[in-house]
Amino acid sequence: MKKYSAILFLVGLTVLILTQQKVVMPFVYSVIKSDLFLVDSQDKASQIPITNHLTEIAFRHCKIHIAAKLPSDTEAVFADQPINSWSLGNYQYLINLEANVVSGEGKGVNKYACRISYRKGDDQSGINEADNWLIDGVAGLNLS
């Protein structure tokens, strides 16, 4: 058996490579080409900053979330409008905002980026309710 181990190794490696090329990868390519991961919604992505009623509501929810996450000795006064807001498609938004922050360490202008999603999709009946929005993440919060 020791005599044939190198040959068995090469045969096994060849079978593995051929299986990968002829079976696995064609299956992966067919799944990629299919509509399996296609999300069809009325909200389309935009590469340029936009402002609409959904981005305004997303901005409001981001302000509330960021204000709640700040330390208790910190006061933040947010601008009336976001710096920029983008639709990522499928009711997901990226909101860039700033606030004048006053804390025990001093005061200054902080900038934040908030990624937020509307959970109900095309059904906009509960668009003003905070429970229908999900904050996916906030950059710029220094909570240490």
Q: What percent of the chain has pLDDT over 90?
A: 57
pLDDT of residue 42: 80
pLDDT of residue 43: 80
Give the residue-averaged pLDDT of 90-105. 90
pLDDT of residue 113: 95
pLDDT for residue 144 is more than 60: no
**Please, what is the average pLDDT of the chain?**
89
Give the residue-averaged pLDDT of 112-125. 91
Rounded Cα distance between 53 and 63, Å, is 16
Give the residue-averaged pLDDT of 24-51. 86
pLDDT of residue 32: 87
Strand, coil or helix: 17: helix
Question: Strand pairing of 133-139 and 106-118?
Answer: antiparallel
Give the residue-averaged pLDDT of 68-75. 88
Q: Reduced to 3 DSSP states, what percent helix, strand and coil does the chain have, rounded to the nearest 5?
A: 35, 30, 35
The pair phi, psi for residue 39, each rounded to 5°, is: -110, 120
Q: Where are the domains of the chain?
A: 2-33, 53-139
pLDDT of residue 73: 86
Domain 53-139 fold is: Nuclear Transport Factor 2; Chain: A, (3.10.450)
For 28-40, the pLDDT digits (tens) are 999 988 888 777 7
